[in-house]
Structure 1
Amino acid sequence: MCTSITLQSEDKLNFFARTMDFGFELNGLPIAIPRHYASTFHFEGTLKTTYAFVGTGQKIGNDYMFADGVNEKGLAIAELYYLNEASYQTSPVEGKINLTQDEFLTWVLGHVASIDELKEVIKQVEMIGVSNPLLSVMTPLHFIVSDRTGKCVVVETNNETLTVKDNPVGVMTNSPTLEWHLTNLNNYLSIQPTNYASKELDGYTIKPFGQGSGTYGLPGGLTSPERFVRATYMKTYAEKGKNESQALNSIFHILNTVTIPKGVNIKDDGHNDYTQYRAAFNLNSATYYFNPYYTQEVFSVELTEDLCSKDDATVFSVSQDFSVTKLN
């Protein structure tokens, strides 16, 4: 379970954001990977990054695994669970770039500069289903991608084939497919930020109970379709902000509407499925903003030239303590 959105501020800065909702403790931290950093891929062997990037990840063995990030060219991507829908190749294909579902995001961040380039290079890529070394299952994934132009696409597997789909609303959650979620929005034509007018029924006047009548029927549950509709509505009507700080404030308020507290969503195995962190990315400045569950504080990492040109990855620690600013 995850929700991701894009947003453009009034001064034309483009942002990308997500919640990471999961029942297994991922312990993700902000990590910056420099240019020319060598990683070992399951089928492709050692590959070096063309572009530096920063995102949320952790070290697995000798390499880092990421769930989201933005690179120095302003391309951002996040992976989201795609249960009962993901369909992978079972073996590598000769002459193609063969990536596991868990490597795809890292490879994109390190080698792709824009959505236009992604649409071309995806023709050379095959996604091979392999058991995730951390979870010991073959993770079903799809991906939402945005860049500095504000374009947004979703990458999904259809009959074992990678497909890049234009995303006109800039929102994604989990299963079903993007097309299904877009069609489902037709069920919510009546949702609006203004109140409904009073009506007369055979001479009897019915009136709204109070402010907010235009949102009657807006889904409030935690399922993927409900979160998709809710996030689309909030993103569409929320004030975008005049600058970066205002836009980020708006983004985190929007994410609040799809953030899952611990204890309210229990999996069949008894584990809490909750929002372990929220992340936002300024695609213009390649700046990453990270908010872990245990604090309301937001931490930032700008992808500076110093980080881009380091010899090794940089792992940042963050406070897990809830903080309060005392005024007296």
Structure 2
Amino acid sequence: MCTAIKHKKNYFGRNLDLEFELPFTKVVITPRNYKLNLRANNEQITMNHAIIGMAMVVDDYPLYYDAMNEKGLFVAGLNFDGYAKYFDIKNNFINITPFELIPYILGSCSNVKEAKNLLNNVNLINISFNNKLPLSPLHWMMCDEDECIVIESTKNGLSIYDNPLKTLANNPEFPYHLENMNHYANLNPNQRVELYNENIKIISNGTGTTGLPGGLASQDRFVRACYTNSTSKCDDNEEADVTQHFHTLKSVAQTRGTVIGHQSKYEITIYTNCYSSKTLSLYYNTYNNERLTGFTLKDNKNVDSDKLTIYDLVEKQDINWVK
């Protein structure tokens, strides 16, 4: 499944929730001027902007799950099973595959406004990477410092929605999640005032959150992440903001044993990450190692390399033993 948020102005990120391991997941930097071939017509494109993100690399191709470019534009793909639909090649459109969407947009665009203009002419086509890697049914959240949108390719075609809630989960389509939030307009961090009997006292903090969904289904995670993110308070500095971002996503994280997915396997939050457009940094932790690991594109010599830069995930739990 998965949940993504935009925290404040500068921070974006997601939980990647799956019922199977992703042993080939890496942190990958795609440099400026890197060449990629588009499958529809074998046209070669040049990456105008360097990209950092979480990806699997196959034959020198970065298959990004989520990423940010050096201009601070962020995109994440989230599961959209049963709703996503991809099409045959269409004339007079930019025909790209779903696995090409993230590098194509981030390599070409500096902000959401430019991306919207480009997406107006995009057709997502039904061509897999290879016979061992079929297309994943996805929708995408895209953000910069000023805007946040959702991109969905369904039976009705490609739709682009403004996302004022700065949150995305999975099924169903995004307009449902917007409408569903109307049922939770009463949620607030204050205590609920008892109007009926002065002898009935509030016995616990948090009564303003009564009715906040506690489940792990997509619609529940969407509401809980949206509420937690919108009420979030922290100091105004990168360390505090990044820490708060991870706490917010932890509120919808999946613990092994709580959800059984396909093939009777347990679904877990494989990793959580945070991208900062302020410092052009990526922070992440994994299910097995909660310590944050960080990278930055600022003054990074690899952005002018002629090849991908690939880092293994730090998976072993890092415990600070005090003696």
- 2:240 corresponds in structure 1 to 246
- 1:96 corresponds in structure 2 to 93
Q: CA deviation at 1:132?
A: 5.5
2:307 aligned with 1:307, yes or no? no
- 2:28 corresponds in structure 1 to 31
After superposition, the C-alpha distances for 1:283-312 in whole angstroms (9 at most, x for unaligned) are 122211111221011111111341211111
Question: Contact conserved, 1:88 with 1:160, CA < 8 A, in 2?
Answer: no
**Equivalent position to 1:20, from 7, 16, 20:** 16
Give the 3-state SS of the residue equivalent to 2:63 in structure 1.
strand
2:296 alignment partner AA: E
Q: CA deviation at 1:136?
A: 4.4
1:209–1:131 Cα change, 3 Å:
farther
Give distance in 1, aligned partners of 2:289 and 2:106: 28
- 1:270 corresponds in structure 2 to 264
Give the 3-state SS of the residue equivalent to 2:242 in structure 1.
helix
Question: Contact conserved, 1:34 with 1:312, CA < 8 A, in 2?
Answer: yes
- 2:62 corresponds in structure 1 to 64
Give distance in 2, aligned partners of 1:179 and 1:276: 27
Q: CA deviation at 1:133?
A: 4.1
Extract unaligned runs of 5+ from structure 1: none
Q: CA deviation at 1:62?
A: 3.5
1:267–1:134 Cα change, 3 Å:
farther
Question: Contact conserved, 1:286 with 1:303, CA < 8 A, in 2?
Answer: yes
- 2:224 corresponds in structure 1 to 230
Q: CA deviation at 1:313?
A: 0.8
TM value normalised by structure 1: 0.92
TM value normalised by structure 2: 0.94
1:254-265 map, 5 Å: 254-265=248-259
2:111 alignment partner AA: S
When the two structures are aligned, how many residues end up with a matched partner?
A: 320
Extract unaligned runs of 5+ from structure 2: none
1:80 alignment partner AA: L
1:36 alignment partner AA: N
Question: Contact conserved, 1:197 with 1:207, CA < 8 A, in 2?
Answer: no
1:109-120 map, 5 Å: 109-120=106-117
1:317 alignment partner AA: D
**Equivalent position to 2:287, from 272, 290, 293:** 293
1:199-218 map, 5 Å: 199-200=195-196, 205-218=199-212
Give distance in 2, aligned partners of 1:269 and 1:132: 24
**Equivalent position to 2:138, from 138, 141, 162:** 141
1:44–1:52 Cα change, 3 Å:
farther
- 1:195 corresponds in structure 2 to 191
Q: CA deviation at 1:122?
A: 0.9
2:5 aligned with 1:2, yes or no? no
Question: Contact conserved, 2:4 with 2:168, CA < 8 A, in 1?
Answer: yes
Q: CA deviation at 1:19?
A: 0.5
- Percent sequence identity over aligned pairs: 28
Give the 3-state SS of the residue equivalent to 2:263 in structure 1.
coil
2:7 alignment partner AA: L
**Comparing 37-46 with 267-276, which one deviates more in the overlay?**
37-46
Give the 3-state SS of the residue equivalent to 2:312 in structure 1.
coil
